[in-house]
Amino acid sequence: MRHLIRNSIFSVAILVIAVLSIIPPEEKLRLGKDLRGGTTLVYAVDIPPGENPRDVLSQTITILKKRVDPNGLLEIQMVAQGRDRIEVTMPLPSERVKALKKEFEDALNELGKCSVSQGEFERALRADPAERLERLQDLSCDDPERLALMQEAAEAFDAMTAARKVLDTERSKDEPDAALVDSYVEMVVNAQLKYEDLLARVVHGQLTPEMLRNALKLSNRRKLLRNEAGDYVEFDSPRERAIQKLKEEHPNDVEQIDRVIQLYEKYESERTSLDDPEDLKRLISAAGVPGFRIVIDPQSSATQNTHPEEQRLRQELLERGPGNVRSRDARWCKINDITTFPAGPDTIEELAAMEADPSGFFERRGYVCERYEGEYYILCWDTRGMRLTKAEGDWRIAKAYQTVDDVGRPAIGFEMDPRGATLLGELTGPNVGNKLGVLLDEELYTAPVLNANISRRGIIEGDFTAKQINYIIQVMTAGSLSANLSPEPISQNTIAPEFGAD
d(CA 345, CA 355): 10
Q: How many CB atoms lie within 10 A of CB 59?
A: 19
**What are the residues facing 86 on neighbouring strands?**
43, 80
User: Residue 222's pLDDT is what?
Assistant: 80
pLDDT at 21: 53
As a whole number of Å, the CA-based R_g of the chain is 29
Report which of 327, 390, 154, 351 is spatially closest to residue 245, judged by C-alpha positions.
351
What pLDDT score does 24 carry? Answer: 54
> What is the model's pLDDT at position 363?
96
Handedness of CA 365, 367, 373, 375 (dihedral sign): negative
CA distance 132 to 152: 13
Secondary-structure breakdown of the chain: helix, strand, coil percentages, each rounded to the nearest 5: 50, 20, 30
CB 207 within 8 A of CB 242: no
Strand positions, DSSP E, 37-101? 38-44, 77-81, 85-91
pLDDT in tens, 329-344: 999 999 988 877 888 8
Determine the Cα–Cα distance for residues 426 and 168; give it in Å rounded to an integer.
57
What is the Cα–Cα distance from 107 to 197, expressed in whole angstroms? Answer: 30
The pLDDT of residue 286: 63
Report d(CA 99, CA 107) in Å as an integer: 12
Model pTM above 0.85? no
Q: Which residues of the chain have a pLDDT value below 50?
A: 22, 26-29, 31, 33, 480, 482, 499-502
Cα dihedral 380→429→390→69 (10° resolution)? -60
